Amino acid sequence: MKTLLVKTVAFSLLAVSLWSCKKDGDLTVANVSAAGTLAASSTTVALTQANGTKPAVTLSFPAATVTGYKVPVATSLQFDLKANNFSAPREFVITTTSYTPTVADFNAMLLALGVKAGTAAQVDVRLKSAPAPNTVTYSNVITLSATPYLAAAWIYVPGAYQGWTPATADSLVSKENNGVYSGIINYTAGNLGFKITPAKNWDLAYGDAGSGTISTTGGDLNAGAAGKRQVTVDLNKKTIAITVAQLWTITGDASQGWGVDTELDFINDAKGTWKGTLDLKVGAFKFRFNKDYNGALGGTATAGVLSTTGGDIPVTTAGKYTITLNVTDLTYTMVKN
């Protein structure tokens, strides 16, 4: 009987304790305000490379208010091309109540969204406030207008393939000037050694530091094999990667036959240009990447414009032609020499 009494009292105390915790929990509730009104210092953003380090635009908004139980509120700004409905936005986490990207940063963001350099564009921006995954709110949307510039930068690849002369060495390009450079170098048999220089001189040179890294005290780098090699250098991480180059070619009976590829040369102008001078017969051809018909480019009803659904490009007069392909704009030119 005594044991039963003790158990009954213990159970009663436990029940009171649990009820008290629940009551406290009911009273301790976090109330978080919705995302506030977003404002911009200007809706027209002027972008020039000379002003790269200057402020592009200032976006400001009120801080979220939290009452009751204090919870952290994740705040970010989302950017996407107008009419995309933020389907694949670029998002930047914000810890203050304003955001002022530099001209260079805003320009890089536009290029990353797929805007072509020199092309006027409109981008939507909104504030995202998220105290919890299921309580996300958004601000009003502001549309900003801007025209990005080509922000490319180059480094150089002097080596045995061209006589170890920085002044005439092939280059690698960083389209967004973000420290990551890539390009195609054609190494000749027995001449696989090279280095990386930020300028066309030997004032500073990067060599092999082992395990895919580079340093200014490293020895000669090695392409590994002759031929066209894709070289990618990350000067932020001081790394290098060398792989077999994937090329744009032409194929067709106007050249060497359908399914037989004639390589175009990569032009390192940061504009997606490939070029070749070759003999063509009367017939037709298409462009294809990595010797694959999947995604091949053909002609359209608009002269000089290409499409993945385009037809064969005709050659009506035999002769030597210079063909220029732009894979960024999906255009081409064909000039008879």
What digits encode the pLDDT tens for the residues 157-181? 999 999 999 999 999 999 877 899 9
Same domain for 177 and 278? no
- Chain mean pLDDT for the chain: 88
Higher pLDDT, 95 or 13: 95
Q: Is 7 inside a domain boundary?
A: no
Q: Is 6 inside a domain boundary?
A: no
* Least confident interval from 116-120, 170-174, 209-213: 116-120
Interval 154-159 mean pLDDT = 97
pLDDT band per the 50, 70, 90 thresholds, residue 72: low
Question: Which amino acid belongs to residue 240?
Answer: I
* pLDDT for 95 beyond 90: no
* Least confident interval from 30-44, 109-123, 138-152, 219-233: 30-44
* pLDDT for 22 beyond 50: no
Count how many domains the chain has. Answer: 3
Return the pLDDT at 134. 62
pLDDT band per the 50, 70, 90 thresholds, residue 7: very low
CA gap 124, 39 in Å, rounded? 12
Same domain for 141 and 205? no
Return the pLDDT at 6. 42
CATH number at residue 321: 2.60.40.3620
Q: Is 15 inside a domain boundary?
A: no
Same domain for 167 and 142? no
Interval 99-103 mean pLDDT = 94
Q: Is 13 inside a domain boundary?
A: no
Same domain for 136 and 40? yes
Return the pLDDT at 147. 96
Same domain for 236 and 218? yes
pLDDT band per the 50, 70, 90 thresholds, residue 186: very high
Domain termination residue (choose one: 86, 113, 146): 146
Domain termination residue (choose one: 197, 222, 244): 244
CA neighbor of 161 nearest in space, from 202, 197, 193: 193
Interval 7-25 mean pLDDT = 41
Return the pLDDT at 19. 36
Q: Is 210 inside a domain boundary?
A: yes
Residue 330: helix, strand or coil by DSSP? coil
CA gap 181, 200 in Å, rounded? 15
Return the pLDDT at 319. 97
pLDDT band per the 50, 70, 90 thresholds, residue 133: low
* Span 237-291, pLDDT tens digits: 999 999 999 999 999 999 999 999 999 999 988 888 999 999 999 999 999 999 9
Same domain for 327 and 265? yes
Q: Is 266 inside a domain boundary?
A: yes
Q: What percent of the chain has pLDDT over 70?
A: 87
- Global pTM reads 0.64
Same domain for 127 and 39? yes
Same domain for 136 and 43? yes
pLDDT band per the 50, 70, 90 thresholds, residue 117: confident
* pLDDT for 182 beyond 70: yes
Q: Is 21 inside a domain boundary?
A: no
Interval 73-93 mean pLDDT = 89
Range 171-207 burial, b when 16+ CB lie within 10 A, else e: bbbbbbbbebbebbbebeeeebbbbbbeebeeeebbb
Return the pLDDT at 150. 83
Domain termination residue (choose one: 146, 175, 191): 146
Higher pLDDT, 112 or 194: 194
Same domain for 137 and 40? yes
CA gap 203, 175 in Å, rounded? 24
Same domain for 135 and 194? no
Return the pLDDT at 8. 45
Same domain for 38 and 121? yes
Q: Is 19 inside a domain boundary?
A: no
Contacts of 170 (CB under 8 A, 6+ apart): 156, 157, 162, 183, 185, 186, 268
* Least confident interval from 19-33, 164-178, 311-325: 19-33
Give me the sheet containing 207-210, strands edge to edge. Answer: 153-157, 170-174, 180-187, 227-234, 239-244, 213-215, 207-210
CATH number at residue 139: 2.60.40.10
List the domain range (segments joined by +) for residue 190: 153-244
Same domain for 237 and 172? yes
Question: Which amino acid belongs to residue 26?
Answer: D
Interval 72-101 mean pLDDT = 89
